[in-house]
Structure 1
Amino acid sequence: MPDRTARDAFTRGVRALIPLIPGVIPFGLLTGVMAINLGMSPATTMGMTLLFYSGSAQMVALQLLNMGAVPMAIVVTALVINLRFIMYSASLAPHLHHLPRRWTWPVSYMLSDQSYALCSLKLSSGELGQYAHYYYAGTAVAMWLSWQLSVLAGVYLGASIPETWSLSFAIPLSFLALLVPGIRSAASLGAALVGGLLAVFAVDMPYNLGLVSASIGGVMAGLLIETVRQKNMSNALTDDVERDTQ
């Protein structure tokens, strides 16, 4: 059912993101604890969180800081890890590029895996209507606040949480919760399988390049499957036309 107002769309976006917050909280707690354990102050930790706004890149950067890596290596590694956002942005651009800069700049900054997964298919189908960008903004703002507050909680409370709770286990579960509803066709299934297999086999690649390789491989597999499907449909349609003309 199309949203009747911008507020309806924004609220629906927030509600769509809420079930994913339990998977975000452990990730943020771990990030906050790691930063404090490395000797960073709460202010520096939160400043880094605001600047990065990328959990995976921030955690890897913290690990590299702990290893004494040079600043340039940390910056390059973070950029490589975040290459997937180029693909996300290219996918969303046809639906959001018409917005003024007061919209595109903040929503670009708040782009996340979760927001993209929730919005990409809905934007492509057109089901969100004229207030689609408000729906996206709802997911983006809710995710941004969840991450910032989770890291802040980790800074002040996380150290008291027992390691036996295995909070890191919730991280892959949150991404699985995003993946499964998005598998709606042979192309998306093929992309998920190929990307997952590549991620497993390339897990030991340096600078987290396995993630980038898996993303590119999954996209290529999905495009190939969809191209073959459309070609088969075109051939079948041509055969039907020729049969009707005989």
Structure 2
Amino acid sequence: MGFSLSAPLWRHPAFAEGARDMAGITLGISAWGLVTGVAMIKSGLSLPLALLMSLTVFAGSSQLASLPLLASGAPLWVLWATSFCVNLRFLIFSAQWRQYFSHESRWLRMAIGYFAADLNYVAFLKRFPDGQPGPEQLPYYWGGVVVNWSSWQVPALIGILLADQVPTQWGLGFAGVLALLGLAYSLLSDRNSWVSAAVAGCAAVAAYALPLRLNILVAIAAAVAVGLLMERWVPPVRSKA
């Protein structure tokens, strides 16, 4: 069920299916990547560090959350704590994907973890909701991540390389916010996630006066707490949309 030289994954019909499912949302991902690339340079990162961050971190939300902290000289523990909290959702993604890929080799599972992304998770679970491993799942996954990774990295690298040519009055920060909102909306699939998102927004606004962007940590903590409580006490109701 893993990669086979005699039958490359990219030749499997599910590979093309995964790519098609991700192709429709690449515009928002590309806009977000471009904004993040420009933001890294505008925040004071050198070109080599920005390139290294884009290629190794591959987590746009934590990158955007950490850049203002880097620019303001925040302590390292605040930077790490913010990135950790922002990326906690990948722990949930990994627990779900474990049902499908736990039989694969450690190195392959590590590669799957690196390329994991929010919308790949949504598309994958929509395509394979039963939690049972199957031969078409790995090709489908790689088809989706090839499109997702490319649509993020190419605009991000363009943004990094051409950041000095982009006027600040273009308002790319607002474009990034719109891209993030669009991606976040696609993840709100039931009542519990909507309530958690609303709590996070209110908490972020209420704690806005905190230094070092600590309102982000407050919002994440509040959303996680409410989400866990609702999962325990309130059965999720799926959105009809």
Indicate the TM-score class for this superposition, using the shorter chain for normalisation: 0.7 to 0.9
- C-alpha change, 1:12 and 1:213, in structure 2 (3 Å) is farther
CA distance in 2, matches of 1:99, 1:216: 33
Unaligned runs of 5+ in 1: 184-188, 229-246
Q: For residue 143 of structure 2, what is the aligned residue in structure 1?
A: 138
Answer whether contact 2:15 2:142 (CA < 8 A) is retained. Answer: yes
The answer to whether the aligner puts 1:167 opposite 2:167 as a matched pair is no
Aligned equivalents of 2:221 and 2:153: distance in 1?
25
What stretches of structure 2 of length at least 5 have no aligned partner?
A: 1-7, 208-213
Contact 2:41/2:47 (<8 A) preserved: yes
For the pair 1:104 / 2:109, whether they are aligned, the reply is yes
The change in CA–CA distance for 1:55 and 1:67 in structure 2 (over 3 A counts) is same
The alpha-carbon distance between structure 1 residues 18 and 215, as it changes in their structure 2 partners (threshold 3 A), is farther
Measured after TM superposition, the shift of residue 18 of structure 1 is 1.1
Report the alpha carbon displacement of residue 150 of structure 1 after superposing the two structures with TM. 1.7
* Mapped contact 2:99–2:131 kept (Cα < 8 A): no
Q: Greater Rg, structure 1 or structure 2?
A: 1
| Count of residue pairs the alignment pairs up | 216
What one-letter code is carried by the residue in structure 1 that aligns with 2:182? L
Q: Deviations over 1:103-134 (max 9, x none)?
A: 21101111111111111233333699421122
Q: CA 1:79/1:107 → structure 2, altered by over 3 Å: closer, same or farther?
A: same
Asked if residue 191 in structure 1 is aligned to residue 192 in structure 2, the reply is yes
Quote the RMSD (CA, aligned, Å): 2.7
Q: Residues 7-156 of structure 1 correspond to what in structure 2 (within 5 A)? A: 7-125=12-130, 129-156=134-161
Identity of aligned pairs, percent?
26
**2:85–2:220 CA contact under 8 A, matched in 1:** no
Distance change >3 Å, CA 133–CA 217, structure 1 → 2: farther
- Measure the CA separation in 2 of the matches of 1:156 and 1:150: 10
